[in-house]
Amino acid sequence: MGLDALLEAFLAVLNGGSFLYLMTGVILGLTFGVIPGLGGTTALALLIPVTYTLDPLNAMYLAGGVMGATSFGGSISAILLNTPGTAPNAATTFDGYPLARQGKAGLAIGAAATASALGGLIGLFTLLLFIPVAREVVLSFGSSEFFLLTVLGLAAIAVSVKGKLLRGLIAACIGLLIAFTGANQFTGDTRFTGGIDYLWDGIPLVPALTGLFAISQMIELALKGGSVAEDGGRGEAVKMKITGVGSGILSVFQHWTVLLRGSIIGTVIGAVPGLGGTVAAFLSYSSTAQTAKDRDTFGTGNIKGVIAPEAANNAKDGGSLIPTVAFGIPGSAETAIFLAILVLHGMEPGPTILLQHEREVYGLIVALTVSAVTASIIGLLLSRVLVLITRIDVNIVVPVVVLLSLTGVYVLEGRMADVLLAVAMGILGYLMIRFDYPRLTLVIAFVLGETAERSFHQIRLISDGEVFGYMLGRPISVVLIVAIVITFLLPTMRSAMARRAGA
């Protein structure tokens, strides 16, 4: 396994039929990524029955095309609408949307496209270098490390929501409590269901995310009125300058260290089950923001705030294949659905898959890489048209996005209860926007809650109740504990130092 298999996969993708499947996946991924609330999870879920009739390799190209393209598609709506097409794109809104409102949407899209493409490529190369040792690394992670990783992920995100640490942590608590709804996976006891059967399996991820991001954003947008791109202070539509696309491309090369760090963070985090693209994008964003000299400009339209999460978001696709394919542990809702496609085609995830289905696995890696690059090229070519989205009257955008999002939620499982949940989560999300409680920490906690609880119970069982002592006896855990403490203290230490310097 190695270079030969990779070359074979690259040559195979050039075959007319396979390339057609890949491009179909890319177009679908871009489309579903751009439409807020749909994203790759919905696209893949809709594709499951479609891939059934395909050759396994072509199914990989189709699915890989979708997975590789949705991240960039999602960044377009994140930049233009402040509504991430997929959860990981939420980090892009912090600086992408302010840039769009300043009339620099072209700059942001150019940077996002280039960072996505290069991040995907770097992720692939890092993955190829990492594959020989990947198994040992992932196997060395026990329940203690999984638990601490979830805490680290939460801490990093709460800290990265600048000036809102306390409210970010409160939102995280709400997210954890939402995650605990339903039957406890450890004991089977049902919690917080209120006697509603629908809640026994817990709160489903996709309707919750759709509500928290798409619906709530639409409520806020409807209240704001006007067109999407406005100068908040004056209420005047900003003329979108689309000539900045070239500068956006160039800015990625100017900030190559940001790109490289984001790509490496993306690949490594992507390889850790349960974390995935959202954590990768936010870790990349926060680490860039915290170490930058111009950190005060983050959140107001700093181009590095677009490059960092986009590079990580695409680079994570390569890394996420390791636990998903090799261990059958999905890192996200998207990879969970992807697992279903693997099983549908007779590829049982596990350590043997790399030996028995080498062709398909490398085919998928190639599909993800090619789709990331082609999606960026297509996105760049269409950026002049895409920028026009921001000039549309919100009174047209709102009903369209609401209807398509709610329909997408319904299609996933065919349950109207999911649609109702999305509406409820939308209202919750709006209240969080209104009262300035960050939604992202809630979502991350919601996603990681199950892993955190399961890992914690496992540690208690293994350590006979001596949880902390057990953690301190494991070197990787100690490193993670130190990282958590530093993450929490860093902003306070920095502000104290700034005050001392100013005194």
- Binding residues for other proteins, rule: CB under 8 A, are 46, 50, 162-167, 169-170, 173-174, 176-177, 180, 184, 186-187, 189, 191-192, 198, 215, 218-220, 222-224, 232, 299, 393, 395-396, 398-400, 402-404, 406-407, 410-411, 414-417, 419-420, 423, 426-427, 430, 433-437, 452-453, 456-457, 491-492, 495
* Residue placing its CB nearer to other proteins in the complex, 174 or 483: 174
Q: How far is the CB of 452 from other proteins (least distance, A)?
A: 8
Q: How far is the CB of 165 from other proteins (least distance, A)?
A: 5
The CA distance from 410 to 222, in Å, is: 23
Q: How far is the CB of 35 from other proteins (least distance, A)?
A: 10
Q: How far is the CB of 437 from other proteins (least distance, A)?
A: 8
Nearest residue to 35 via CA among 386, 430, 395:
386
* Residue placing its CB nearer to other proteins in the complex, 6 or 222: 222
Nearest residue to 75 via CA among 45, 41, 110, 33:
33
* Residue placing its CB nearer to other proteins in the complex, 6 or 490: 490
Name, in order, each residue with C-beta under 8 angstroms of 331's C-beta and a sequence gap of 6 or more: 270, 272, 273, 274, 275, 276, 320, 323, 324
* Tokens describing residue 471: 């953690």
* Tokens describing residue 107: 């700059």
DSSP of 251-297, one letter per residue?
HHHHTHHHHHHHHHHHHHHHTSTTTHHHHHHHHHHHHHHHH-TTGGG
Q: How far is the CB of 155 from other proteins (least distance, A)?
A: 13
Q: How far is the CB of 386 from other proteins (least distance, A)?
A: 17
Cβ atoms < 10 Å from Cβ of 291:
12
* Residue placing its CB nearer to other proteins in the complex, 163 or 246: 163
Q: What is the DSSP letter of 322?
A: I
* Residue placing its CB nearer to other proteins in the complex, 15 or 407: 407
Q: How far is the CB of 405 from other proteins (least distance, A)?
A: 10
The CA distance from 424 to 152, in Å, is: 29
CA 315 to centroid of chain Cα atoms: 11
Beta bridge partners of 236: 231
* Residue placing its CB nearer to other proteins in the complex, 20 or 416: 416
How deeply is 30 buried, as exposed, middle or buried, from its count of CB atoms within 10 A (0-12, 13-18, 19+)? buried
* Residue placing its CB nearer to other proteins in the complex, 39 or 323: 39
